[in-house]
Chains A and B, each alone.
Chain A
Amino acid sequence: MLATRKWVALTILMLVLIVAFGLLSRWQWSRAQRDRVEAPPVAASQVFTSGSALPSSAYGVRVAATGTYDAAHQTLVAHGNGTFWVVTPLRTPAGEALPVARATVTGPDDPAVADVTPGAVAVVGVAQPFEGDPGTSSTLPAGQTDRLTESGLGLPYAVAGGWLALESQTPAPAASAVPVQPPVSAESSASIRLQNASYAVQWLLFAGFVVFFWWRMLRDDLRGADGAQPRAATEPVRDVY
């Protein structure tokens, strides 16, 4: 006959240990991924399709694109806290425009606003979805919007279904500017630290041991042995020589 109270206690202990070991495993797993390396960029044509919204699987993907900036259709996106993004359409050879948030500025007079690199440029940035409509307050001056949307940019040509937060550009801009902090941060491929990954697996296995030994004690108990009691106290010494 099972001693009910003992088994309730042992089962609770087992569950507590499983949860604790599971959390320790997760902690080691997060430590294993602490050096994340930047993923190499993919071509813009594989990520953006003009006229259709950026799929959520592409948010945060690092993208490379080439083209020329269209300085005439540049827009400032106002954040309402005195900072703006400078968003300049990049006309790609395929004919569509990819809005590139080049810099964070404090106003239309910031030197970074006019610092549009002429001629062919190659950019690398992080793919971002357009913000949700509606926006565009009428109180903003011309050339400004309060939401980064396709309609807010008001471009006269086909626009990709999202935008790029610029990370780097070749040739580099004339002066360095405050970069745009992307709302969706860049995806990165993890370089796993083997030592911590190994510990993470071991914690899971320790959780498995808990179940195994719990089952073994239960089995011994059901067979009529005296469980965790010291053996010598109650058992006949039939096996001892």
Chain B
Amino acid sequence: MAAAPTAESVRGALLRYRVMAFVVGITLLLFCVAIVLKYVTKSIESDSVIAIAHGWLFMIYVLLGLDLGFRMRWSFGRLALMTLSGMVPFLSFYAEHKVTGWVRAELGTPADAAVPAPPAG
């Protein structure tokens, strides 16, 4: 039974995931604004800076999401949902909220790092 997720490790993974979900969500919105500025109003030449930034941040988001998901032993369907929602504007914020809810439901207590951890076990 060694590989069961510990509350400590899940708490850390969840915090990392939530921070990155927020950052990626904001970056994605900025990317959308840049696309509108480039193709609709034609007021900027290139959106590649934000595109590259979003690409790398999204990659980290996927890595952290999978890390959390594997610690929680979630199904592949749930992992795919978490990953793909990071590509949809605004949905990433909802997904982050949802994922936090899943973790809390399964661990039975708020898993935020902000809450002092009671002794495990």
Contacts and interface: CB of A to CB of B under 8 A. Distances in A.
Interface stretch (A86-94, A97-105, A167-175, A225-233): A225-233
Contact of B72 (A213, A227, A231): A231
Interface in B1-40: 1-7
A228 B4 contact: no
Nearest to B58: A202
Interface residues of B, number: 30
Contacts of B48: 193-195
A195 B66 CA distance: 24
Nearest to A222: B3
Contact of A225 (B3, B108, B121): B3
B106 A206 contact: no
Contacts of A229: 73
Interface string B52-84: 100110010011001000101111100000000
Contacts of A231: 4-5, 72-73, 106
A198 B48 CA distance: 10
A206 to B, nearest CB: 7
Nearest to B59: A202
A238 B3 contact: no
A194 B2 CA distance: 44
Interface in A191-220: 193-195, 198-199, 202, 205-206, 209, 213, 216-217, 219-220
A219 B7 CA distance: 20
Contacts of A206: 59, 62
B63 A209 contact: yes
A239 B121 contact: yes
Identify which of B52, B109, B118 gathers the most chain A CB atoms within 10 Å of its CB.
B52
A149 B62 CA distance: 59
A224 B55 contact: no
Contacts of A198: 52, 55-56
Contacts of B56: 198, 202
Identify which of A194, A219, A241 gathers the most chain B CB atoms within 10 Å of its CB.
A241
Contact of B7 (A225, A235, A236, A239): A239
B55 A202 contact: yes
B13 to A, nearest CB: 13
A5 interface: no
A216 B70 CA distance: 9
Nearest 4 pairs of A and B residues by beta carbon: A225-B3, A231-B73, A195-B48, A220-B3
Interface of B: 1-7, 48, 51-52, 55-56, 59, 62-63, 66, 70, 72-76, 106-109, 118-121
Given A213-B66, A241-B118, 13 more contacts: A195-B51, A198-B52, A209-B66, A213-B70, A217-B70, A220-B70, A225-B3, A225-B4, A228-B76, A230-B73, A231-B106, A238-B1, A240-B107
16 contacts: A195-B48, A202-B56, A213-B66, A217-B70, A225-B1, A225-B4, A228-B73, A228-B75, A228-B76, A230-B75, A231-B72, A239-B4, A240-B7, A240-B108, A241-B119, A241-B121
